Every structure is written in structure tokens, then in C-alpha cells.
Amino acid sequence: MPIYRVTDSSLQPVAETTFASERLLERRDLQRLLRADISPLGEDIMVIAEEFAEWDASQRRIDLLCLDRDASLVVVELKRTEDGGHMELQAIRYAAMVSSMTLERAVATYARTLGGDDAEAKAQREILEFLDLPSVDEGALSDKVRMILVAADFSTELTTSVMWLNKQELDITCIRLKPYRLDGQVLLDVSQIIPLPEAADYVVRVREREQEKRKVVNGRQQILRQFWAQLIDRSRPKTNLLTNRSATTDHWLSAGIGRSGFGLNLSLAQDFGRVECYVRLPGDDGERSDRAFEQLFAQKEAIEKKFGAPLEWQSLPNRIGSRLCFEFPGGWTLPEEQWPDYQDILIDAMVRLANALREPVQRLNV
């Protein structure tokens, strides 16, 4: 979008130019100017190194290595091109290479950038003041590394990649430097395009919400794996239904009753557990499975008598398949000390349902 000069009678567009035509180079000009004043890229960062390359077996260099006030390293990659090239891939590689840097090493790196006899003391003082820390011993760098990509423009391929990577919890900012020429001077329009500044807070809130959801999911998966492992161990002296079964992070654990299409399952939700037989015959569009369920339902009284309690008979009209089941209050949120008794209840119900269904299932004509 062009920039306009306002006059008394009109809006006059300011002529766009390019870094190439203005003979402005990445390292000699853009990098040098940003090293002297990094504020166009953000008020919360300080430069600690230029052309950083302190790693073994690599000739690669980070254009500008910075630090932000949250004690995160910031990798700044510069390109004067109109598409950004593959700078997001470069930045990710560099971020990985510096991700293990300590605060002590960051101070030493900045000291080498400053140079001079008192560089170490000055570097430590400036970094501690910037981070608002009393001493190096009382602080540590975050294991998160931010990335800032700076270019004259960015290709759709690059911006699409960056937006996807940010959804995966990376922190990449794209800043466009667009040069203009006015009255013999070069003007620079600095625009953050990813994430949009007005949406930045929203993006952070969404990311935090997703992180919390993942914590819940990961916690639940860990509980389920542990619960099923214990249940399988407790089942071994009582039944061979779960022989060769392994613990899983799924909310169900499956067994068989001797005929394909009749799945015997234990299922665990947040506040209930369930033993079930799910009826879905292989290669069926629903008709044969429905017929099998109807034939079992015709034997409802005898099956429930052998099971020892009424069952729920669910035809599941919006799915291919049907289910007969029995539910117990409880679920994976039960305190761990109550697991053994609850596992015994589920194992017993599975054995009773298998015994009640095994012969009727074998006799089905479908």
C-alpha cells in the first residue's frame, strides 16, 4: 500500500523504490543501522551480538542475536529481497543452535561485542539492568527462542509457513521494510505483518489456551496409560480376555469374544466407566450389523439374566453399528487409591458380559 504526501490540494503518492536500486546492502547498511538502533523491530529487545557464529563445525552466522525482557534469545534474520527467500528455515536452524545458551554465556557474548578492558563488567551490568535481575546467579535464559524475520517483502509460501509454525508454538514475527524515495531521501516504512500488532494479544491468549488444553490432554493420557496398565495386570489371574493387550493412552481397551465384528471394550470417561459390546460387522454398510443387533436383542432377557443386570441396548441410528453396554459411576478422575477396587469391578463386568454373549454371538445367522 503506497504512502501519500498530503498537500493543500491533493494526496500525492510517494514513489516506492528498492534496496537494490538505492544500493543499500543487507550487512553493510540494514544490519549496521539496526544494530545501532534495534527499536524499529521492538522496544523490548537489545542486541548482544552481530554475525554470531560461536558454534563448532558450522560457518553459519546469525545476523543479529538479541535478548528480550522475558530473558528469551531473539534471532533476527535480514533479507533485502522482495520474497524473503527461505529465511524462516534459516531462523529455525539458528534458534535450535542457540537454544541451550546460558545467561553467563550471553553475558560473555555481549562482552565480546562491546570490547574493551571493562567489557565483561559492562556487559553484565547492562544485561542485568535490562532483565531487572540482581545477579547472574539469580537468573536464567528461557528455553524459548523468538525469531524476527526482516525483509523488503515476504512470499505467500513463507507467510503461510510462518503462520503454521506459530500455531505449533514457535514465536516468529515478520517485519516488512519498504523503502520509498522522497525529495532525494530514502524513507523506510516499517510494518509488522505477522502477527498483526492489533491481533498479537489475541494470538497469545489463543496460544495459552491451547497450551492449557494440551496440559489437560497430556495429563489425561498419562492417567489412562497408568490405569490400563494396572488393570491389565490385575486381570491376568482372573481372565485371559486381555492377554497380549498393552496399556494405551486411549479411553478404551478392547478384547474379543471369538467372532469378528463383535468388539468387547472397556471404556473410561471422566466420570463413568463402561463395559460394552460394539456390533459392526466387517465390510458392512449397516444392514447386516443391524440384523445381528436385532437378533441379540431378541435374546435380551436371557443375556441380561446371565450378565446379572439390565443392559443398555443402543441402536446408534447415526452410526454404522450398535452397542449394548453397562455403565458404572467413577471414571478416570477417581483418586488413584480407589483404582484397584474400580478396576476389579470393570474386569468382573467384562468377564460377565463375555460369558453372557459368547454363545449367542456364535449362533447368529448374519
Domain ranges, ordered by start, for the chain: 4-101+141-195, 211-363
pLDDT value for 136: 80
Longest CA–CA separation in the chain, Å = 96
How many beta carbons lie within 10 A of that of residue 160, not counting itself?
A: 11
pLDDT of 208: 59
Query: What is the pLDDT at residue 231?
Result: 95
Q: Which residues of the chain have pLDDT under 70?
A: 1, 56-58, 197-218
209 Cβ partners below 8 Å, 6+ apart?
none
The yes/no answer on whether domain 4-101+141-195 falls in CATH 3.40.1350.10 is yes
Q: Which among 105, 103, 91 is positioned nearest to 171, based on CA atoms?
A: 91
pLDDT of residue 190: 86
User: What is the predicted pLDDT for the residue at 191?
Assistant: 87
> Rounded CA gap, 175 and 294, in Å?
65
pLDDT value of residue 334: 92
Does the pTM exceed 0.75? no
Residue-level pLDDT at 222? 85
pLDDT at 317: 78
C-alpha 236: how far from its chain's center? 38
Strands 145-151 and 73-78: parallel
User: What is the tens place of the pLDDT at every residue in 299-337?
Assistant: 999 999 999 999 999 988 777 789 999 999 998 889 999
CA–CA gap between residue 82 and residue 147 (Å, rounded): 19
Q: How far is CA 164 from CA 72, 91, 157, in A?
A: 21, 15, 11
Residue 58 confidence (pLDDT): 63
As its CATH architecture, domain 211-363 has: 2-Layer Sandwich (3.30)
Contact 165, 157 (CB under 8 A): no
Task: Please give the pLDDT value at position 338.
Answer: 94
- The confidence score (pLDDT) of residue 211 equals 56
Contacts (Cβ under 8 Å, ≥6 apart) of 85: 79, 151, 158
Q: Which amino acid is at 365?
A: N
Nearest-angstrom CA–CA distance, 150 and 154: 9
